[in-house]
Amino acid sequence: MSDNGTRPPTEVDLAAAYEESGVRDILRELEDTMIGLGPVKQRIRESAALLLVDQARRQMGLATDTPTLHMSFTGNPGTGKTTVALKMASLLHRLGYVRKGHLVTVTRDDLVGQYIGHTAPKTKEILKKAMGGVLFIDEAYYLYRPENERDYGQEAIEILLQVMENNRDDLVVILAGYGDRMDRFFESNPGFRSRIAHHIEFPDYSDDELLRISEGMLADQNYAFDDEARQTMVEYIAARRTQSHFANARSIRNALDRARLRQANRLFSEAAGPVDATALSTIREADIRASRVFRGGLDTDRPVRRDAAE
């Protein structure tokens, strides 16, 4: 008998539950809006199926404990980890595993203080904001700095571990960063490893996927390559990938920002009269070819953090 005195159902229609939950919409949006990431999308689909089955088991009185939903996202910068975390928050909300479905993104600086008594209130304030949703900790391995005896990261770790265990029905924590560094972090902090149920690895984008991403980014702002610029972008991607600080889609976005800047300057220098919508919306070869990448330099106007883990 259930808590309200009624008998649990003897069977559950999983297909109907899938439709009613709205999960299909989230998965379709994930598929339609994010290029590549096949293994990641498969893991998200599998996680959704697991949660739907868990709900069915609850309805039939076969399960009582909330499943462990904390996750680890590993991969290089710019591979969509933050975006997928946002989709995951929406999925968990649709299925009723978190109350609000919002995403709070933080790094070490948001959690760890600089003096005694500073860390605990900072960490607790972040956790308060994240309750009912998902807390995404980028570059999570920086929480642990054993080489510094006066580091307060361990205090933040202990608070996080306690909340991850005691409030797992109201908060999901996603730790993100480079794969090898996250492996060492888990080895040094077995408490985290024991609380992380889902490890998802984000692959780098292929050159073709990055080209499609670049075209999509331009289209979102009503721009487009002409044929020569598109071919030059192919060359740019191949060259930029071999350089340091390459951050997948993030590097492409930065390159396009600079291409639009060059396009604007070109239009002002060339214009002898009115310009039409096509001219205002077209990225030409010169706008890409002017990149320092084609001269062996980095196409960046300021230092890029090597460890950024979007």
Is the pLDDT at 125 greater than 90? The verdict is yes
User: Tokens for 31?
Assistant: 């598929």
Q: pLDDT (tens digit, 9 = 90+) per residue, 210-246? A: 999 999 999 999 999 999 999 999 999 999 999 988 9
CA distance 11 to 59: 9
Amino acid sitting at position 156:
A
CA distance 83 to 26: 12
Q: Under a CB-based contact definition with an 8 Å cutoff, are residues 71 and 174 in contact?
A: yes
> CATH says 207-295 is which class?
mainly alpha
Q: pLDDT (tens digit, 9 = 90+) per residue, 16-51? A: 888 888 888 889 998 988 999 999 999 999 988 888
User: Per CATH, is 14-202 categorized as 3.40.50.300?
Assistant: yes
CA distance 81 to 190: 23
Amino acid sitting at position 83:
T
User: Tokens for 282?
Assistant: 């077209």
Which helix (H) or strand (E) segment holds residue 172: the answer is strand 172-177
Q: Under a CB-based contact definition with an 8 Å cutoff, are residues 84 and 30 in contact?
A: yes
Helix (H, G, I), strand (E, B) or coil at 219: helix
CA dihedral 23, 24, 25, 27 (to 10 degrees): 90
Query: Helices 14-21 & 23-33, crossing angle to 10 degrees?
Result: 70
Give the closest residue to 90 by CA, choosing from 48, 43, 53.
48
CA distance 39 to 308: 22
pLDDT at 285: 97
Structural domain boundaries of the chain?
14-202, 207-295
CA distance 300 to 278: 28
Q: How confident is the model at residue 149 (pLDDT cuts 50, 70, 90)?
A: low
DSSP 303: -
Strands (DSSP E) found in 39-171: 71-75, 103-106, 134-137
CA distance 38 to 31: 9
Give the closest residue to 207 by CA, choosing from 178, 232, 241.
241
Handedness of CA 193, 146, 180, 102 (dihedral sign): positive
> Checking DSSP bridges between strand 282-283 and strand 103-106, what pairing results, if any?
unpaired
User: Tokens for 64?
Assistant: 């009582």
pLDDT at 310: 34
User: Tokens for 194?
Assistant: 């024991």
Highest mean pLDDT among 7-11, 32-36, 53-57, 280-284: 280-284
Give the closest residue to 72 by CA, choosing from 257, 235, 198.
198
Q: How confident is the model at residue 301 (pLDDT cuts 50, 70, 90)?
A: very low
Is the pLDDT at 205 greater than 60? The verdict is yes
**Same fold flag, 14-202 and 207-295:** no
**CB neighbours of residue 171 within 10 Å:** 22
Q: Under a CB-based contact definition with an 8 Å cutoff, are residues 110 and 126 in contact?
A: yes
Q: pLDDT (tens digit, 9 = 90+) per residue, 76-112? A: 999 999 999 999 999 999 988 999 999 999 999 999 9
Q: Under a CB-based contact definition with an 8 Å cutoff, are residues 126 and 171 in contact?
A: no
Q: How confident is the model at residue 71 (pLDDT cuts 50, 70, 90)?
A: very high
